[in-house]
Structure 1
Amino acid sequence: MPENGCTIAAVIPAWNAAPWIARAIESVLAQSRPPEELIVVDDGSTDATAEIVRGFGDRVRLVSQANRGLSAARNAGIRAAGTDWIAFLDADDYWQPGKLEAQARLLADRPELAFVSCAARLVYEDGGEAGHWPCMSEQEARTPLETLFRRHAAVAGSGSAVVARRDLLLAAGGFDESLRALEDIDMWMRLAQRGGYACLPEPLVVIRRRRGSMSGDLDVMKTAARRVMAKNRGLLASDRGRFWHQCYAAMLTDYAKWELRAGRRWQAAATLLEAGCHAPLAQGRLVASLWLAWLRGGLPAPSGGSR
């Protein structure tokens, strides 16, 4: 056991990940502070994913299951682990060598934390740079639950950067397997209600992004966002009802902006009307400004978002 008593299992959910899984595993094995366990959950892959994982021998534990989705695979990894902490990594991403060492040091210094993450470098599948995913501000990190509601976006790095207490993941019920998207935001909200959060500003994770528009995912994402915001409303203090409505309205307004950018004017209009019902004064002014911007040929960028 490490000197600070912090044991960590790396959990990699994988589905048809043959092109990327070896690099993800190698990045875990190359850590300056390696995890006590490395678990790959093969979620019913039909390609060579399992065969590639087996090629690493006893350095990796392979858990196989029928295809049930990302959340179910993560939950299987959590249950299979015998450590205090779970470090998540998606199969198409990879870690920089000092990632776990830096996070383990932070966890040892701050025992009140329920989970930590780090900034991330974003790259396209062809290797082109896609940007940077920074941490929330230190002030925002002091109230992570409210920040997650306000920003309706995942913590930096999310499913490839977070290290979380296993007992709290289990106490919170694990990842919601009924969600088709935004299951990470949902989980981090429930963890934030149970303990503190911190983020390392160094980009210790590399995350792959697809080129192109998110318009094809808009309906799935918006449906999931509504559910995540509604199901977790009870995590907020009872006097934060107005705050929740403002956050819900801001979330819908961002989706309306994406719908407008995708040329889906009627859907955007319906989304904006729904937003106005939750924060009519503030959103009414924003609705008018959105339509004026659209008529003039430009739109403000959405304020939130998630992977």
Structure 2
Amino acid sequence: MPRVNIVVPAYNAEAFIAETVRSALHQTMPDLQVTVINDGSRDATAANAELDDARVRVISQENRGMSRSRNRGMAEVDSEFVALLDADDLWHPEKLRLQLEALQARPDHDFCYTAFTVWQGEPRPDYFQEVRNGHVDEALSGWIYPRLILDNHALPSSVLWRRSAWDSMGGFLTDNQQTDDWEYLVRASTRHRFVRLAESFVLYRQHPVSLSRRIPATNTTELMRADLLRRFGMSSPPGHDVDPVALQRFQHRGWCNFADSHTAKGDLALGLKTFAGLLRSGPYRTHTLTKFAKSLFRRWVPND
């Protein structure tokens, strides 16, 4: 049984999957397996993932989405530790070794995550050659629910955790791929301690986004935040309190950005309604009015 199993959900990822799997296989700790869940791809994802390496297993299924693919992958593996890696992200070769050392040094912590680097896909050979020392960011370690409910700074591709924690918690929700991973990690943070490595160990690939892409009609992030607060409250576990001022600021920013997107480029009526609600309820009315004016200007005087 490998000590770490890496689950890689992949859908139409033929252009990236081989490089991604290779970055997992090039880890400096060798006791691992890579399980690729080919989620109904219509291209050469499955063939490109195999790399003629016995440590790689490809499981194909009908298209079911990211969260169900992650759950399927976890159900298929049996190892002491598990990790996720998105099909277009890359790992630094020291990632798993230093994460394992961090969890071994803190047996009362079950999750380890790292900083990451936003990446546009350009060649970065220097990144993989840079030395890492596994320095721990204490400010974002321990019981992190009060921080994670504000901002999802735990990238799924950066997380390694004990299989026992997965078994005790159950899997990802499968309702909305925009918030399923955040929900899982917030839920985990109410029951398990996290340790964060301060250095970047993940190149997080960003893809060009079409300006004509339809803006979501629902603010899924803020609705999920409200649901998480309803379920877990302002202190989880007891004694680890959410900063109410910071929470109010994040909630306002989330709704203000949603209103701005629709007012400037989407459903104008929805944008105006959301801005009106923010102005009625407060706080930060001056900021809201400024944002509102800029949104209208962007709609009337588009720059593209």
Q: TM-score, normalised by structure 2?
A: 0.79
C-alpha distance in 2 between matches for 1:35 and 1:184: 26
Change (3 A) 1:141 1:63: same
Change (3 A) 1:106 1:125: same
Aligned to 2:275: 272
SS of the residue corresponding to residue 150 of structure 1 reads coil
C-alpha distance in 1 between matches for 2:178 and 2:55: 31
Aligned to 1:148: 148
Larger deviation: 231-240 or 35-44?
231-240
Change (3 A) 1:295 1:36: closer
SS of the residue corresponding to residue 67 of structure 1 reads coil
User: Which residue identity does 2:149 align to in structure 1?
Assistant: F
User: Which residue identity does 2:146 align to in structure 1?
Assistant: E
Alignment of 1:213-224 (within 5 A): 216=213, 218-219=215-216, 222-224=218-220
C-alpha distance in 2 between matches for 1:95 and 1:194: 27
Shift of 1:290: 2.3
Structure 1 contact 44–64 (Cα < 8 Å) conserved: yes
| Structure 1: runs of 5 or more not aligned | 129-134, 298-307
What's the CA shift string for 1:157-204, capped at 9, x where partnerless?
Answer: x12111123332343331111213122211111111111122212221
What's the CA shift string for 1:53-85, capped at 9, x where partnerless?
Answer: 344242212222111000011111111111122
1:67 matched to 2:63? The reply is: yes
SS of the residue corresponding to residue 34 of structure 1 reads coil
Change (3 A) 1:274 1:174: farther
What CA RMSD, in Å, does the superposition of the two structures yield over aligned residues? Answer: 3.2
1:204 matched to 2:169? The reply is: no
Match of 1:252 among 252, 255, 258: 255
Structure 2 contact 219–258 (Cα < 8 Å) conserved: no
Q: TM-score, normalised by structure 1?
A: 0.78
1:161 matched to 2:158? The reply is: yes
Percent same amino acid at aligned positions?
26
Change (3 A) 1:257 1:295: closer
Alignment of 1:290-305 (within 5 A): 290-291=291-292
C-alpha distance in 1 between matches for 2:182 and 2:172: 10
Q: Which has the larger radius of gyration?
A: 2
Aligned to 1:177: 174
C-alpha distance in 2 between matches for 1:9 and 1:282: 47
Change (3 A) 1:17 1:257: same
Structure 2 contact 4–31 (Cα < 8 Å) conserved: yes
Aligned to 1:304: none
C-alpha distance in 1 between matches for 2:215 and 2:295: 19
Misfit runs of 4+, over 6 Å: 238-242
Aligned to 2:37: 41
C-alpha distance in 2 between matches for 1:186 and 1:50: 29
SS of the residue corresponding to residue 219 of structure 1 reads coil
C-alpha distance in 2 between matches for 1:25 and 1:258: 36
User: Which residue identity does 2:285 align to in structure 1?
Assistant: G
Aligned length: 281
